[in-house]
Amino acid sequence: MVEAWRTGITTYDEKNIWIRGYEVGALMQRATFAETIFLLHAGRMPSQQEGKLLDAILISSADHGPGSPSAATARLACSGNRGSVSSAIAAGILAIGDQHGGAGMACMETIAEGVALAKTEGVSLEAAAEMLVDAYRARGERLAGMGHRQHSTDPRKAILFGMAESYGLAGDGVRFMLALEAAVAAKVKPLPINIDGVLAAILYDLGFPPIMGRLIFIIGRTAGLSAEVAEELAREKAMRIKVPVTYDGPPPRDLP
């Protein structure tokens, strides 16, 4: 006998669907999409402030132009296979990783490490941040959530951190990331907290596990990828993307 799958997320019968115990029709009429995402992942309905903050995070990560790795990959896949929007969007999602959009997971782990270090060593978050910067430099490792190719200051940081503060939801996660930014500027060079670092700090303070740092970016960016693919189909010809290539291999030669 095959053992049944187990889930604590969603169930249904012939006439009803329940998500985490809430009837889907009630959610459709009284909850937002962001609140439902919170419910799906946290197992509880968020407060009004938590729901607004998660909504803002999803908006902040929705799109960053067609040149971002995920959007460029989605457009390239769509250019060569215009019959499948799902494969193009999936290709864009597959481009999300440690260097693009997925660093929030590693950043949440760093935040947890820093907060724990402050407690075990009996030092401030600022001192713990300096200790971590020294440790990462000694190991030659890069700190996730820091630096941006286009922005000297990520315009989304002040808004999201400001919302978290005004809602009373900013905690050790936000404080540690700000301390880390200052420590990096003093010991290495000025590097802005990027969107991965911002959402990592806030998600940490909301009580989510590290994997949420990657999942939330994927959820938000999927909306932008669908728009990028739709525009590619509407405005561009098939196979229009041509990547300049310079060959620097051996010249033509004969087999021995």
Could you say which of 182, 205, 228 is where a domain stops?
A: 205
Could you say which of 168, 184, 205 is where a domain stops?
A: 205
Residue 156 inside a domain? The answer is yes
Residues 189 and 111 in one domain: yes
Tokens of 149: 């190719």
How high is the pLDDT of residue 151?
Answer: 67
DSSP character for 193? B
Following DSSP, what letter does each residue of 142-190 receive, concatenated?
PPTTB--SS-SS-HHHHHHHHHHHHTT---HHHHHHHHHHHHHHHHT--
Residue 113 inside a domain? The answer is yes
Domain span at residue 20? 8-46
Residue 26 inside a domain? The answer is yes
| HSE-CB of 116 using CA atoms within 13 angstroms | 7
Q: Which alpha helices (DSSP H) does the chain contain, by range? A: 24-30, 33-42, 48-60, 69-80, 85-94, 103-121, 125-139, 155-166, 172-187, 195-205, 212-235
> Looking at residue 181, which CATH number applies to its domain?
1.10.230.10
Residues 121 and 187 in one domain: yes
Residues 109 and 184 in one domain: yes
Residue 235 inside a domain? The answer is no
Q: Tell me which residue has tokens 């402050």.
A: 118
pLDDT tens for the 256 residues of the chain, in order: 788 999 999 999 999 999 999 999 999 999 999 999 999 999 999 999 999 999 999 999 999 999 999 999 999 999 999 989 999 999 999 999 888 888 899 999 999 999 999 999 999 999 999 999 999 999 998 899 887 767 677 889 999 999 999 999 999 999 999 999 999 999 989 999 999 999 999 999 999 999 999 999 999 999 999 999 999 999 999 998 888 999 999 999 999 9
Residue 128 inside a domain? The answer is yes
Residue 81 inside a domain? The answer is no
Tally of domains within the chain: 2
How high is the pLDDT of residue 83?
Answer: 87
Neighbours of 90 (CB within 10 A): 15
Residue 222 inside a domain? The answer is no
Residue 76 inside a domain? The answer is no
